[in-house]
Amino acid sequence: MQAEPVDAKALHGGALTRTLARFVAHTQWRDVPVAVRNEAKRSLVNYFAVALAGAHDSTLDRAVAVYGRFRADESTTLAGRSERTDMLNAAALNAMSANVYDFDDTHIPTIIHPTAAIAAALFALAESHPMSGKALLLAFVLGVDVACRIGNAVSPEHYQRGWHITSTCGVFGAAAAVAKARGLDEDAIVWALGNASVQTGGLVETLGTMSKSISVGNAARNGLLAALLAEDGFSGPDAPLEGDRGFLRVSASHPKWNALTEGLGREWELLKNTYKPYPCGVVLNPVIDACLDVRRGARWSLNDIEQIELKGHPLLRERTDRPGVRTGRESQVSAQHAVAVVLARGKAGLDEFSDAAVADPSLRMLARRLRFIDDLSWPVESAQVTIVLRSGERIAHRVHAARGSLAAPLANGELADKLHQLAAYGRSGVDTHALIERLWNFETEHDAAAVMRLARARTTS
């Protein structure tokens, strides 16, 4: 299905929300281009990689314990863990696990991490409401399109005002995806989006803390709940997105209305999705690449460094100027830590963004030598690191397109390697070879939940 661009005159009566709902209701698998289908599978490979890595993080251990007090049953799998829980709690906990290390995918125009909430909701649903792999992929593609289009409409102001866009827009994507998987009609999908609109939440202030995971988990859980309520006739407003007090006007001063529907069915937001090679905020990827290049073949020591200059788009400073971080979680969004640890160790894995790494006094000293240089003309995907030595020598390297960006995407083999490595880090004993094979052929699966069962822990940590 395709839709023509819509201008502000179409705002009355919920025309934009209804256009999105109609698109979700009527789009079929045959309407989805092969490139988009492939990207959906790539997103799921990455999803299981990061979910298995984060499954036994202390955030998840605490959340599983507390959520477990309120579980309704044990019908649903937790990725990388031996416990089981109910559908709603599983959606929340699996979304938390996939996002906890900031190693998940990124929709470049908005910096939304779409898959954590949407895939978690769909796989939780699939264990109680059987569906094929093809049906789940279709619902996933549409959910990502909805979430990211809403994000496009409020970006960049929404994030700048302090809203955690992965959570606030992710709930709409999860609701739309589940609504499609359940075969809801246009009216019911409008209701699902309305039910999602009153469950948006998430603040940038929580980044680097356990609290961030609550809103990411809620995006999956609440989106799932929103669609299930709509399926049972739980109605909502006609214009939850564009209404006078709807999500777009409340969360942004000047929403881009056309972003919701322009190119619908022709331009797929999933093709703007990227996958991280490092467990940190996506704007740090070019910084890490540059540090690795500066360090390669170096004939200087860390003690020779007088200052480190980091040049990039102002968004880089806005999101990562975090000196004196205290935890590994905070370090994932700290340029000071990222630069120091990569220059010192020559790598950037999960161990480099851990509590132990943060506690290293030599890294703290090096981090204090960093200063930012803003340049609005530089793209977000670019950064330059300059080492100023005590001798006065300057050694610089600029990265124009970070590894893992749209211009330099991770290959399928690299995504598979990421899954192997992160599953090993999570110590779940999952057969990653079998899991990867099933994911690359996911559209042929008769039971979409089969891969989720493969992702259940074989061993306890």
Q: Are residues 122 and 215 in the same domain?
A: yes
Query: Residue 460 falls within a domain, yes or no?
Result: no
Give the rounded percent of residues in the chain with a pLDDT score beyond 90. Answer: 91
| Per-residue b or e along 98-115, where b marks 16 or more CB atoms closer than 10 Å to that residue's CB | bbbbbbbbbbbbbbbbbb
Name which of 332, 329, 327 is nearest 348 in CA terms. 332
Contacts 24+ apart (CB under 8 A), 361-365: 362/302, 363/337, 364/324, 364/340
Predicted pLDDT of residue 278 = 95
pLDDT beyond 80 at 172: yes
Query: Residue 450 falls within a domain, yes or no?
Result: yes
pLDDT beyond 50 at 5: no
pLDDT beyond 80 at 424: yes
Work out the mean pLDDT of the chain and round it to a whole number. 94
Query: Residue 250 falls within a domain, yes or no?
Result: yes
β-strand pairing of 305-312 with 370-374: parallel
Range list of β-strands (E), 258-411: 273-274, 305-312, 370-374, 383-389, 394-399
Query: Residue 101 falls within a domain, yes or no?
Result: yes
Q: Mean pLDDT, to the nearest integer, of 52-74?
A: 96
62 SS3 class: helix
Q: Mean pLDDT, to the nearest integer, of 188-213?
A: 95
Q: How many domains are there within the chain?
A: 2
Q: Are residues 237 and 149 in the same domain?
A: yes
The domain that holds 295 is classified in CATH as 3.30.1330.120
- Give how far Cα 406 sits from Cα of 99, 105, 132, 205, 288, Å: 20, 12, 30, 28, 17
Query: Residue 354 falls within a domain, yes or no?
Result: yes
The domain that holds 44 is classified in CATH as 1.10.4100.10
Query: Residue 146 falls within a domain, yes or no?
Result: yes
355 SS3 class: helix
Distance between CA atoms of 177 and 91, rounded to whole angstroms?
13
Predicted pLDDT of residue 1 = 47
Predicted pLDDT of residue 297 = 83
Q: Are residues 229 and 307 in the same domain?
A: no
Confidence of residue 282 (pLDDT cuts 50, 70, 90): confident
Query: Residue 404 falls within a domain, yes or no?
Result: no
pLDDT beyond 80 at 13: no
Structural domain that includes position 170: 8-275+416-454
Q: Mean pLDDT, to the nearest integer, of 252-272?
A: 97
pLDDT beyond 90 at 288: yes
Predicted pLDDT of residue 11 = 62
pTM for the full model? Answer: 0.92
Q: Which of 5-9, 27-31, 341-345, 369-373 has the lowest mean pLDDT?
A: 5-9
Our CA angle for 240, 126, 99, nearest 5°, is 65
For the stretch 87-108, pLDDT in tens is 999 999 999 999 999 899 999 8
Written as six digits, the tokens of 142 are 């549409």
Q: Are residues 52 and 132 in the same domain?
A: yes
Predicted pLDDT of residue 7 = 52
